[in-house]
Amino acid sequence: MSSIDIRNTGITSIETDAVVNAANERLMEGGGVCGVIFSAAGSRELQKACDKIGHCDTGDAVITSGFNLKAKYVIHAVGPIWSGGHHGERKLLKSAYRRSLEVARENGCTSIVFPLISAGIFGYPAEKAWEDALTTCREYIDSNPDFQIRIVFAEINEDKYETGLRVLKRLELKGDTSDHETGNEETVVVFDKISMGNRVCDAVYFHKIDEQNGFLSNWYGSAFEIEEKKFTSVEQYIMYRKAEIFGDTEIADRILATDDPETQKALGRKVHGYSGYVWDGIRQMVVYRGLMAKFSQNEDLKELLLKTGDAYLVECAMRDKIWACGRSLYDERRKDASLWDGTNILGFALMEVRERLKKNG
């Protein structure tokens, strides 16, 4: 029976018939996963084999011997460089996975290990990369019931690994291999517990918009107005104010022109004249104002926030030591505040907004 699995390990440590290399079109040894595979296989021998082939188009895959690897074969798949998502990147990435599976079948492979293609130096956003990878593999399995293959994804980066598990779980729950549009399910508040000193209190943990309590995320779509300007999310407002404070009107206008929070955040990092000391002093006031507008101007979101009662609101992101608690949503240490590695500014700002809304009725 065919299967899909994700493991938090190096790609050369898994025994499969074929290992997939995240290759470039020239099939030259590179860095990252490509460099690891070449080194383990034997760089000189593998490069000679690649040189005989000479080239592989983006979205395609070719095969060589595995040489010193545990795998019999290396399948070299060329994924796209991310250019904003409007240049056929998704079609090309899905093609790279599909062609890899086709090549594996043509060569008698019944097991294959993939890296997360294009999500390294090629810049493909990790969540989108996982969605396209897992969707394509599911589609291939479903459309080839006569072919049994064990598909493994090896991801050594813990953040990307956890993202992959979350996306895989979501796809399994939906039982869907389409474009994964957001459904219209009723949003509910998920409660848990937290240790705060000597007390155990209710807690509401959140991070991304498609996870539990995602309505609390700054990326959550929520239209509101501040000073006659319209915003589509708190993230857009924060990044706009950041640009405005430092006088970068060009970046401010570009932030207002896009509804994509990821793009807004990236633009916010490019603000000219930025001073970390100044921003550190003002950012909490900025986020508070954005949150107040979000929840006071959207009655459904206000109702959800008030349903959290007196629970601690905790943003969970491993690498965010400022806005979040510095622990993953899947890390049990998030439940003990003494083990946090971040300040949870966003969570505490949300709690202040909640208190103000309670008083205002």
Residue 254, both tokens:
């570009």
Q: State the Cα–Cα distance between residues 341 and 324, nearest whole angstrom.
A: 9
187 inside domain: no
179 inside domain: no
- Alpha-carbon torsion, ordered 292, 298, 300, 301, to 10 deg: -30
130 inside domain: yes
The answer to whether 234 and 290 have CB atoms below 8 angstroms apart is: yes
CB-count exposure of residue 307 (10 Å: 0-12, 13-18, 19+): middle
- CATH number, residue 259: 1.10.357.40
pLDDT in single tens digits along all 361 residues of the chain: 889 999 999 999 999 999 999 999 999 999 899 999 999 999 999 999 999 999 999 999 999 999 999 999 999 999 999 988 888 999 999 999 999 999 999 999 999 999 999 999 899 999 999 999 999 999 999 999 999 999 999 999 988 999 999 898 888 755 443 333 333 345 689 999 999 999 999 999 999 887 889 999 999 999 999 999 999 999 999 999 999 999 999 999 999 999 899 999 999 999 999 999 999 999 999 999 999 999 999 999 999 999 999 999 999 998 899 999 999 988 889 999 999 999 999 999 999 999 999 998 7
Residue spans of alpha helices (H) in the chain: 32-41, 43-53, 89-106, 126-143, 158-174, 234-245, 249-256, 261-268, 276-296, 299-307, 345-360
- Note whether 124 and 263 are same-domain residues: no
The answer to whether 204 and 213 have CB atoms below 8 angstroms apart is: yes
Split into its structural domains, the chain has a count of 2
- Note whether 281 and 159 are same-domain residues: no
Q: Return the sign of the alpha-carbon dihedral for residues 205, 209, 211, 213.
A: positive
For 288-328, give the DSSP string: HHHHHHHHHS-HHHHHHHHHTTTPEEEE--TT-SSSS-SS-
- Note whether 225 and 314 are same-domain residues: yes
Q: Which domain holds residue 23?
A: 3-174
The answer to whether 228 and 256 have CB atoms below 8 angstroms apart is: no
- Note whether 198 and 110 are same-domain residues: no
- Note whether 147 and 207 are same-domain residues: no
- CATH number, residue 77: 3.40.220.10
| Stretch (H or E) spanning 114 | strand 111-114
50 inside domain: yes
- Note whether 80 and 28 are same-domain residues: yes
- Note whether 349 and 202 are same-domain residues: yes
Q: Which of 125, 143, 174 is the last residue of a domain?
A: 174
Q: Which of 144, 174, 204 is the last residue of a domain?
A: 174
142 inside domain: yes
- Note whether 68 and 163 are same-domain residues: yes
Q: State the Cα–Cα distance between residues 315 and 329, nearest whole angstrom.
A: 8
- Note whether 22 and 152 are same-domain residues: yes
183 inside domain: no
292 inside domain: yes
Would you give the DSSP letter of residue 246?
A: T
Residues paired with 62 in a beta bridge: 76
Q: State the Cα–Cα distance between residues 186 and 352, nearest whole angstrom.
A: 25
Cα dist. 172→143, 147, 166, 177 in Å? 17, 20, 10, 9
Q: Which of 174, 204, 233 is the last residue of a domain?
A: 174
- Note whether 318 and 350 are same-domain residues: yes
The answer to whether 293 and 237 have CB atoms below 8 angstroms apart is: yes
- Note whether 157 and 289 are same-domain residues: no
pTM of the model: 0.53
- Note whether 51 and 117 are same-domain residues: yes
181 inside domain: no
